[in-house]
């Protein structure tokens, strides 16, 4: 075993000295292993070189493929805060053919690509209870399951709605100009709304004409739209919109189209809170801990949209409770019908006992008096 081979082995296995020494020991025992180990090392070194040379080519292919799908860049917004499907900051690029959500600072590291044709509609909701006004933008996606409702698509595995938040003032956004200029935009929602409308994406948003929550909240530009409501022990907000009812902003976000609501009913009606239940495609969705002050506004919304209230339906009525007073009176009436009167019987027995005791005492006094008379005589 020559010196060159020893030096090559030490260099090739420099990160593991123990392994290097074991290889040299075995080669000293069997010199025929030297050529075999040298061939193995040469093979793996060549594979590593080929992989490194292929990386730029693969990256270029990915970039070219992405550009071919997206079309030209319209504009970009950097560092937006996403809550769904992942809680993370991403860069968002709006292209002619869809939305590209990428890792910050890496335009070609695409986390999610969403063509315009895969979008049901977009919800724009002012952020509730925020000192600084924010715009919550929710994108409801179509699934590959050919579902007939937005609710089914939104709850399909791997097809959660996309929710991101943008600060309202335009100057707080990091913008990238493409084919579009931001000259006429006054806030962050203007940027997204105009292009959504341009590509034909339907937009749903709360309005004062549709529903206003009577409970005052901050961060809603002076008007409250969200109704605090719990869904399966998760706190959130209900929004009663023209197209349907939205619950957010925790997972799973739900959108119930008014056309899918078979009926609704109230339950757990207490002094301060109540629950509302929607029957949607034979499934009950219940929202709890709603403030009583919202009751009238909800009734007006239901009436406007022709929703059927089944709260007074017989099958939803509470079971009758046993009333001790009622049962007692009923038993008394039955006794009277049978010709018996427990109260009268008890009173009569007491009077007879008192009379017997009185007679007994009189007899004793009489006996004592007669004995005294005889003694005097």
At residue 221, the pLDDT reads: 55
What is the model's pTM?
Answer: 0.66
Residues 196 and 280 reside in one and the same domain: no
Q: How many residues does the chain have?
A: 377
- Whether residue 222 is contained in a domain is answered as yes
- Decide if 322 contacts 330 (C-beta within 8 A): no
At residue 359, the pLDDT reads: 56
- Whether residue 373 is contained in a domain is answered as no
Pairing, β 110-115 against β 227-231: unpaired
Angle between helices 3-12 and 17-29 (to 10 degrees): 150
Distances (CA, A) of 139 to 23, 115, 288, 368: 60, 12, 25, 109
Structural domains counted in the chain: 3
- Whether residue 360 is contained in a domain is answered as no
- Whether residue 300 is contained in a domain is answered as yes
At residue 137, the pLDDT reads: 95
- Whether residue 138 is contained in a domain is answered as yes
Burial letters 275-295, b for 16+ CB under 10 A, else e: bbbbbbeeeebebbebeeebe
Rounded distance between C-alpha atoms, residue 80 and residue 58, angstroms: 28
At residue 29, the pLDDT reads: 83
- Whether residue 344 is contained in a domain is answered as no
At residue 68, the pLDDT reads: 59
Among 268, 284, 319, the domain boundary falls at: 319
Residues 189 and 228 reside in one and the same domain: no
Among 319, 338, 353, the domain boundary falls at: 319
At residue 91, the pLDDT reads: 94
On the CB side of 175, CA atoms within 13 Å amount to 21
Neighbour tally for 156: CB within 10 Å: 15
Weakly modelled stretches of the chain, pLDDT under 70: 1, 47-68, 128-131, 145-148, 217-222, 314-377
Angle between helices 17-29 and 33-70 (to 10 degrees): 140
- Domain span at residue 12? 3-65
Residues 195 and 212 reside in one and the same domain: no
At residue 334, the pLDDT reads: 59
Distances (CA, A) of 229 to 59, 90, 131, 249: 47, 29, 21, 11
Here the tokens at position 56 are 């730029």
Rounded distance between C-alpha atoms, residue 222 and residue 216, angstroms: 8
Taking only the tens place, the pLDDT of each residue in 167-207 is 888 888 999 988 888 878 888 888 898 889 888 999 999 99
């Amino acid at each position: 075993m020559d010196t060159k081979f020893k030096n090559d082995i030490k260099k090739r296995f420099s990160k593991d000295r123990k392994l290097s020494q074991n290889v040299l020991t075995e080669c000293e025992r069997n010199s025929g292993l030297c050529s075999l180990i040298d061939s193995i090392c040469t093979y793996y070194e060549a594979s590593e070189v080929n992989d490194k040379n292929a990386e730029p080519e693969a990256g270029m292919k990915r970039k070219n493929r992405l550009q071919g799908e997206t079309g030209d860049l319209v504009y970009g917004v950097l560092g937006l805060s996403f809550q769904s499907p992942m809680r993370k900051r991403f860069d968002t690029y709006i292209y002619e053919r869809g939305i590209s959500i990428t890792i910050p600072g890496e335009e070609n590291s695409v986390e999610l690509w969403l063509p315009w044709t895969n979008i049901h509609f977009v919800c724009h909701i002012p952020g509730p209870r925020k000192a600084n006004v924010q715009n919550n933008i929710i994108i409801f996606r179509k699934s590959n399951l050919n579902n007939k409702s937005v609710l089914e698509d939104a709850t399909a595995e791997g097809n959660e709605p996309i929710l991101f938040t943008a600060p309202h003032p335009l100057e707080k956004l990091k913008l990238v100009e493409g084919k579009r200029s931001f000259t006429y935009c006054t806030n962050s929602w203007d940027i997204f709304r105009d292009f959504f409308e341009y590509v034909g994406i339907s937009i749903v948003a709360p309005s004062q004409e549709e529903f206003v929550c009577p409970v005052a909240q901050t961060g809603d530009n002076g008007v409250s739209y969200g109704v605090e409501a719990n869904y399966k022990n998760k706190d959130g907000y209900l929004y009663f919109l023209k197209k349907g009812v939205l619950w957010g902003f925790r997972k799973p976000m739900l959108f119930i189209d008014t056309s899918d609501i078979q009926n609704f009913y109230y339950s757990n009606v207490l002094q301060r809170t109540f629950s509302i239940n929607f029957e949607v495609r034979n499934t009950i969705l219940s929202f709890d801990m709603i403030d009583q002050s919202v009751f009238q506004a909800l009734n007006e919304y239901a009436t406007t949209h022709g929703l059927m209230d089944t709260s007074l339906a017989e099958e939803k009525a509470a079971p009758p409770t046993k009333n001790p007073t009622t049962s007692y009176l009923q038993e008394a009436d039955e006794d009277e019908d049978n010709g018996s009167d427990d109260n009268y019987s008890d009173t009569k027995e007491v009077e007879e006992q008192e009379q017997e005791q009185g007679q007994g005492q009189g007899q004793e006094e009489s006996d004592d008096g007669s004995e005294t008379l005889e003694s005097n005589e």
